Amino acid sequence: MQIITEARNWILLLLGIIGAFVTIKTFLDNVRQRKLDNTFKTLEYLRKHIPQEYIDTFITLFHANGELRGVKYNEFRFPDGRTDTIENMFSEGGCGNGDIHNMIEVFNLISKSLNQNLLAEELIWYEYGQIMFTCYKWTKYLEENKRALLPYPQKGKMSDKDYKKFIKKWEKSVDAITMFYRDFNEYMAQTKVFDKPTKYYTYAE
């Protein structure tokens, strides 16, 4: 009788383990499927809000900013002889023409979901990686430029402990002041997809 009871307990335990495994697998499959569904919806959203006109502006600027042709890192040189800079591209009348700003705003909107791992980022990256990486290069340059203008606080008479606390708060406030398209730049700073395949809209000349 005791043997039958023990055997039944083992069988119940085994069935419980199998049930738990199936439940977890089903949950993970659902999460993966939901992530894919959200990603395809996001790609539709991106295609709708990033028209060919914006991509054409990006291609023009990509070539005009080509360092292989001897152009400075922050400069744009156009075939008609015009020049502009990254510092000026987002201002009224700047070479970004409003298109680059609008495009980064769209990337900024989806970056929160990318940061929270709610989207299959390699699919987004394949479609828009080249554009995102180049836009990040430009916005990061502006961030670093702005940051360089702020004087680093001196320790003065503060103790080491107080100075450490102060610097921590100062760094946070500086981030808030200098961050250019916050969610987008945060995502681009930590993502590991740079080596993943991406579609090329244009090539360096």
Q: pTM score, two decimals?
A: 0.77
pLDDT reported for residue 1: 62
Residue 153 has pLDDT above 90, yes or no: no
Q: What is the pLDDT of residue 165?
A: 75
What pLDDT is attached to residue 43? 96
Number of H helices, E strands in the chain: 7, 2
| Burial class (CB within 10 angstroms; exposed 0-12, middle 13-18, buried 19+) of 182 | middle
The structure tokens 């680059």 sit at 100
Q: Which residue has the tokens 């591209």?
A: 89
pLDDT at residue number 125: 96
Q: pLDDT digits over 181-191, tens only?
A: 889 998 999 99
Q: Which two tokens stand for residue 127?
A: 């479609």
Q: Mean pLDDT over residues 12-32, rounded?
A: 66
Task: Name the pLDDT band for 145 (thresholds 50, 70, 90).
Answer: confident
Task: Pick the closest to residue 88 from 142, 131, 144 (CA basis).
Answer: 142
Question: To the nearest whole percent, how much of the chain has pLDDT over 90?
Answer: 44
Whether the pLDDT of residue 61 is over 90: the answer is yes
> Token digits for 5?
């009871």
Tokens for 67? 């360092």
**Distance in angstroms (rounded) separating the CA atoms of residues 187 and 116:** 10
Tens digits of residue pLDDT in 164-177: 776 677 566 656 65
Helix axes 121-148, 160-178, angle to 10 degrees: 110
Confidence check: pLDDT of 194 > 80 = yes
pLDDT at 158: 77
pLDDT of the residue at 68: 76
Among the listed residues 118, 115, 103, the one whose alpha carbon sits nearest the alpha carbon of residue 36: 118
* Residue scoring higher pLDDT (17 or 42): 42
- CB contact at 8 A, 50 and 42: no
What average pLDDT score do residues 115-119 get?
93
Q: What is the mean pLDDT of the chain?
A: 84
Lowest mean pLDDT among 15-19, 81-85, 138-142: 15-19
pLDDT at 98 over 80: yes
- The H or E element containing residue 77 is strand 75-77
Burial 60-93 (b: 16+ CB within 10 A, else e): bbbbbbeeeeeeeebebbeeeeeebebeebbeee
Is the CA virtual torsion 66, 68, 72, 73 positive or negative? positive
What is the mean pLDDT of the segment spanning 127-148? 90
